Structure formats: C-alpha cells, structure tokens
Amino acid sequence: MRPINEAHVAEPGLAVVDVAAADEQTAFAVQKLLATRWAIAPADRTTHEPGEPGVRLRCYLDLRQQTTPS
C-alpha cells in the first residue's frame, strides 16, 4: 500500500484504516460496518500483495462526523 498522505491525518478525528482480511467480501463488510457509524471515504477495491495472505483495503474516516441512524 502507498504511504499515508499527511492530509488524511492532518487534524484530530481524521483516521486512515487499513483492513487485512481473508477475502474481499470480509474486507468490504468491515468497511460497511465503519460507514454505519462515521463519515467515510470508502475504497472501491481491495489489493493483494503477492506472497502475502488475503487482501487489504484502505479507507479514510472522519470521526468528527457521526452518521445518523436510519
């Protein structure tokens, strides 16, 4: 994965979340769970590093903005 961009963590409440999972379905389920609680810039794909198990997904959260329950 690319290095974390300074802008993504420039203020308290901003976070970069790296998810490692066995498969894409699990990684996207974790991202969906995070999105039910906080504002999120979601990933649209996972990555797989040759020689490493599973897949990885990176998303960006703004913990200052909670989502409203439906």
Contact 56, 48 (CB under 8 A): yes
Question: pTM for the whole thing?
Answer: 0.80
Residues found in the chain: 70
Q: How confident is the model at residue 8 (pLDDT cuts 50, 70, 90)?
A: low
Label residue 35 by pLDDT band (50, 70, 90): very high
Alpha-carbon gap, residue 14 to 64, rounded angstroms = 8
List the chain domain ranges.
16-66
What DSSP letter does each residue of the chain carry, written as one string?
A: -PPPPGGGGSSTTEEEEEEEESSHHHHHHHHHHHHTTEEEE--S--B--TTSSSEEEEEEEEEEEEPPP-
> Averaged over 53-69, what is the pLDDT?
87
pLDDT surpassing 60 at residue 43: yes
